Amino acid sequence: MAVNERGNFMNKELNCNQIVFTEKGVVQYNSGVVSLDELAPDECIIENECSIISSGTEIARLNGLAEESTIPVFPFLPGYGSIGKIIFKGSNIKDFNIGDRVFFAGNHSSVQRFKHNQSHQWGYLFPVPAELNSIEASLACMIEIAITAPNVTDISIGDKVIVFGLGLIGILTCMLYKLQGAVVTGYDQNPTRCAQAKSLGIQTISESDLVDFSFDISVDATGNSGAIVSCINTVRLFGQVILLGSPRTPFQGDLTDVFSKIHMQNLTVKGAHMWQYPLNNQRGVRLSVEKIFETVFDLILSKKIPASEIISHIVSPQEVPQTYYDLQKTPDKFRCVIIDWSK
């Protein structure tokens, strides 16, 4: 695309390719356009390099099972986390230059407009280290979710931790607790997920053995209310229960038994949603989203989080509709899916 000598756009739009939820349960790979008219001071145009599929959140939205506030109006452009390059920017974006690579909460689209400098992390750009591979950097938003659990936990070296759920977030959570010096065990009813976790150096436990263990800390990474009950039942006196997963579906049971265990065992139950942290580094704040992303990128660069081993599939945009179908029908085949927009 050309720019004239005064810096004005000679073309008023860019062609793009994008993933679209056209209706409930239907995914298409479509072409579209991105308008370049009236770029606001805080807006930029980003050329996407990679984007990650958050299978739990995105499939819930595709099938109308998300939280009420996030159920989409179709047609809907899905997305979660992207790595891209700024190709145009508004006058008020002072902290980035044309050509900078950034992490942003983008759609699955080859090119898109994005508004920076909003008050929350989904409306903000984060710098990506120059030496970090874009494919691996795409994992950053998932590590940010998982790191909330150890960050809210009162933990000491040698504490015994059990993580319920060994999907992508559960595996990352296990790794992060291990980095804090904990003795970590993972649990999942799915033997394939247990095998995948073991291949990444995570110790697992069978359901029959759960009754023989008592843990200092139990973490739910499933969002399943039944698993939360199991978390409460497997933690010791004065233990901690960390709720990392987002409960979405109804669950029937006797709450008195659960509350009695919390009360009699003096348990601490903590929510671990990532939105609890302020966006920017500021005086008096120990953790911010900016600082967490800096830490996350350092963990990937140092290989303390082995991103290349965790990512199981790198797909082209054209393959994405089939990938969503496969994620629902054969989820065991997938651990982490990255869309490579250069393909």
How does pLDDT run across 22-60, given as a tens digit for each residue? 999 999 999 999 998 889 999 999 999 999 999 988 998
Cβ proximity of 241 and 163 under 8 Å? no
CA distance 64 to 343: 30
Domains of the chain: 13-138+311-340 (3.90.180.10), 145-276 (3.40.50.720)
Question: Could you tell me the CA-to-CA distances from 141 to 86, 193, 296, 337 in Å, in that order?
Answer: 19, 21, 9, 13
- What confidence tens digit (pLDDT) does each residue in 255-276 have? 999 999 999 999 999 999 999 9
pLDDT at 7: 43
- What confidence tens digit (pLDDT) does each residue in 180-200 have? 999 999 999 999 999 999 999
- What confidence tens digit (pLDDT) does each residue in 149-172 have? 999 999 999 999 999 999 999 999
pLDDT more than 70, % of the chain? 95
Which residues lie closer than 8 Å to 76 by C-beta, 6 or more apart?
20, 21, 61
CA distance 239 to 233: 10
- What confidence tens digit (pLDDT) does each residue in 280-303 have? 988 888 999 999 999 999 999 999
pLDDT at 172: 98
pLDDT at 209: 79
Q: Which residue from 298, 280, 284 is spatially nearest to 124, judged by alpha carbons?
A: 280
Residue 79 pLDDT exceeds 70 = yes
